[in-house]
Amino acid sequence: MAEVSLSAQHLVKRYGGVVALADGSLDVQSGEVVALMGANGSGKSTLGKIITGAIVPDGGRLLLDGEETRFSSPQAARRAGISAVYQELSLVPDMTVAENVWLANEPVALGRVRRRERKEQTTRLLALFENTLGSYVGPDSLVSDLSPSERQIVEILKALSREPRVMILDEATASLGAQQVERLFELIGDWKAGGMALIFISHRMEEIFQVADRATVLRSGNTVGEALLKETTQEHLVGLMIERGVAERRVERTADGGKTVLLETEDLRSPVLDGVNLQLREGEILGLGGLQGQGQSDLLLALFGAVPHSGTVRLAGEEVHFSRPRQAMREGLAFVPGDRGGEGLLPVRSILENLLLPSWSRYGALLDMRRARRDAEETSRGLSLKMGSLDHPVSSLSGGNAQKVVLGKWLMRDPKVLLLDDPTKGVDVGAKGEFYNILSDLRQRGVAIVLHSSDDEELLGLCDRVIVMRDGAVRRELSGGDLNKPALVSASVGAVADPVDDPSSGGPV
Amino acid sequence: MSAARTSLGPRLRRVALRQSYAFALVLLVVAVAINFYLQPNFFQPGILSGNLLLFVPLMFVAVGQTAVVVGGGIDLSLGAIVSMANVIFVSLMGAEPSTSRIMLALGAGFLAGILAGALNGFCVAVLRFQPIVTTFATSFIFAGLALYVLPEPGGAMPSGLVGFYYTNPLGIPVVLWVVAALLLLWGLLRSTRYGTYLYATGGRDLSAFVSGVPVSSVRFLSYCIAGLMASAGALALALSTGTGNPIGGTDLMLQSIVAVVLGGTRLSGGQGGVAGSLIGVVILSLIQSIVSFSGAPSSWQTLINGLIVVAALAGPGLISLLGRGRRN
């Protein structure tokens, strides 16, 4: 294979006023594995997507073999020899493994697909992962019959079938078993030796040290450092990933751990959750931290009875099992989803209707509209909603105020437990502040709150305790003095030591 | 889940997905049995092929519908396209046309069908309109055009062509020729890249898109194929009746969907095929004769067709409900 070099220089990507990537740089060449690292929102996915052509940058340069290029689509990048391993995104479930691996890349003769050749090639590719796949997995297996890890391997083979010069593995090991990861790393070694350049995006510190030669670290959209992994330590890398400075404390932390436990789980399991134990006390904000997609949303959905789960859940000491959100709602649970438009609101209906939607049953068979309106007015005052009138449609509100309506409609039911799934994502700073005040008030009134946030500052600023999740399980609980940024980031990426104890990570944090 | 993990499970599922007409075959046997009981001489070759000849237009339309449905869409305008192409064929041809006149009429009728399909495809694939609403709306355009071309039933097809339609070329009835040709064409289509793209697009369009499948073109072309097939159906209709009818294709819209559904093709796309739809057409013809032999009013036929579609729509939901019940 010919030599290849890829160089991303000072790439910029903005979404409206939000800068996803301010100054992203990365170099990789033949025979090398570069790990791309960064905390939540550091821009590492954005950088990866620019390289694979999924996102067009607003500025900066991309050099392939020293020549400036620009990819308008993933296909364009693929033609240039850059393949990405997606997380199950590119598979069609009702098609066979062979059809999926060669989709849009079929061997063709006289306009007809050469099925036998396709099958043979697929068998050859599958042989690379021999003994790590179920015995039933063959070129003619339906993808929908495969386990998640086997599907992930099909994704890897699909990227490989295009004989790429540069391969990007974005969290490609997340759903693989230990044996499969080991095999993948052996293969990566072979591909490297064959002249391939690889970019490895992973949050597992251990794997990065195992497979990568070099690490490039992003922080707040900027490439902040590079290190040869042979010459560096986990502590140093975590140090690079962390913003200096102390998070602003928005809610006074309460010291008394003696309050009554309201909600408790034991060995909570679902396809995503891997035995979660937690305790939630009255008047407490419990944060769910960790990198994105580690089961935080699933945990909230399971508690709310919206996804099938097993294990024990106790509410005020009594065992409960919610298989439907309605049951959870009856017991005083409320769930505020993160995706405002999608799940939380009816945009064209009035604010009044939206606020009252979960509560109509309290206003009689023939609705007592006067009382309903009075309650809605009270709630909207409590939220300090900035609106024309309760009768205006929700779509007339700003993003932050709309999100307050989502919260408000559940507050009208006086919940005992409030489950928040990344509620301030995409909300402007001013509205966030008001949102925090509302949460603080609720906490004073004894409401137990579980807050999942992709914003680490928010977790540090609001929560009494934070549990850090990784791969569907609670890996660490942080409270009191341990609740700081370095500890949160180290626990998120699975670094063994706490960088605070490491003098080389530089100064007090 | 674990049951599907045995060595036999996935293979059976694969066969069921690919040869999704297994259920249709069972229905076919049942329908044949009932027919045989009601009307033993129904299955004399002459009567049978004569009966099925009436369903040749539907065969073409059902094949066109299959292409669209597999690609993840639906076409409610195919009946109207049949009407439109039908009156174009008849009014341009006349009873005693010259050869060039015949070619002109054939060209115009097929072109009209393809253009109609292209309009649907453009709205759905390029403008991203909803297929159901779009094709329902365009069906009125095509129906209107049909009435403009030929306001009332009438006209005549050349008797030579009509006569040929009722012969048995090489001793094999026309119906069988049609079925063989359609299966062969579909097999060819299936073996091209386009065939794979069509199933991928209907199966999960986002996955197909990120894999590099030109999803919009694939969808667009599926509607064009349907338009072409509707024209072929219109020609068969003109030949079987010998005359033109501006509303002659109306019933074919629902019937084509019923045939697709009976044939085991999932309305959500990405699975199924033409063999099933053709079996579906035969089942439909048998149901029709059961209704007429049993002495029930013919309006029952429409009612039954409607019930079949509703049952098919409810099917997947019911199955997953049952599955969930078992898991709990």
The secondary structure of chain B, three-state, reads CCHHHCCHHHHHHHHHHHCCCHHHHHHHHHHHHHHHHHCHHHHCHHHHHHHHHCCHHHHHHHHHHHHHHHCCCCCCCHHHHHHHHHHHHHHHHCCCCCHHHHHHHHHHHHHHHHHHHHHHHHHHHHCCCCHHHHHHHHHHHHHHHHHHHCCCCECCCCHHHHHHHCCCHHHCCHHHHHHHHHHHHHHHHHHEHHHHHHHHHHHCHHHHHHCCCCHHHHHHHHHHHHHHHHHHHHHHHHHHHCCECCCCCHHHHHHHHHHHHHCCCCCCCCCCCHHHHHHHHHHHHHHHHHHHHCCCCCHHHHHHHHHHHHHHHHHHHHHHHHHHHHHC
Query: Tell me: the pLDDT tens digits for A78-98?
Result: 889 999 887 667 899 889 999
Contacts of B10 in chain A (CB under 8 A): 136, 141-142, 145
- Residue B197 has a pLDDT of 93
- Residue B134 has a pLDDT of 94
- Residue A503 has a pLDDT of 39
Binned at pLDDT 50, 70 and 90, residue B224 comes out as very high
Of the partner residues B192, B204, B212, the one whose CB lies closest to the CB of residue A93: B204
**Residue B206 near chain A (CB below 8 Å):** yes
Distance from CA of A268 to the nearest CA of B (A): 17
Does residue A499 register a pLDDT over 50?
Answer: no
- Residue B232 has a pLDDT of 96
Binned at pLDDT 50, 70 and 90, residue A354 comes out as confident
- Residue B2 has a pLDDT of 39
Query: Tell me: the pLDDT tens digits for B24-71?
Result: 788 888 888 888 888 877 777 777 888 888 899 999 999 999 999 999
- Residue A99 has a pLDDT of 93
Distance from CA of A54 to the nearest CA of B (A): 9
Mean pLDDT value across residues A196-208 = 86
Q: Would you call B14 and A94 a contact, using CB atoms and an 8 Å cutoff?
A: no
- Residue B31 has a pLDDT of 85
- Residue A429 has a pLDDT of 64
- Identify the residue among A79, A89, A94, A161 best suited for mutation to test binding to B, counting B beta carbons within 10 A and taking the highest: A94
- Residue A449 has a pLDDT of 92
Contacts of B213 in chain A (CB under 8 A): 103-104
Please provide the average confidence, as pLDDT, over all residues in chain A: 84
Distance from CA of A272 to the nearest CA of B (A): 16
Share of chain A above pLDDT 70, in %: 90
Share of chain A above pLDDT 90, in %: 24
- Residue B313 has a pLDDT of 67
Distance from CA of B314 to the nearest CA of A (A): 20
Q: Would you call A92 and B4 a contact, using CB atoms and an 8 Å cutoff?
A: no
Query: Tell me: the pLDDT tens digits for A48-61?
Result: 889 988 888 998 99
**Residue A210 near chain B (CB below 8 Å):** no
**CB pairs below 8 Å between A and B: how many?**
87
Mean pLDDT value across residues B205-209 = 86
Which of A217-231, A423-437, B209-223 shows the lowest per-residue confidence on average (mean pLDDT)?
Answer: A423-437
- Residue B15 has a pLDDT of 60
Residue A350 to residue A446: CA distance in whole angstroms: 30
Residue B88 to residue B240: CA distance in whole angstroms: 16
- Residue A95 has a pLDDT of 92
Query: Tell me: the pLDDT tens digits for A409-449?
Result: 888 888 899 999 888 776 666 677 778 888 888 888 889 99
Max mean pLDDT range (A79-88, A196-205, A450-459, B119-128):
B119-128
Mean pLDDT value across residues B6-17 = 56
The residue of chain B with its CA nearest to that of A95 is: B200
Binned at pLDDT 50, 70 and 90, residue A341 comes out as low
Does residue B323 register a pLDDT over 70?
Answer: no
Does residue A40 register a pLDDT over 70?
Answer: no
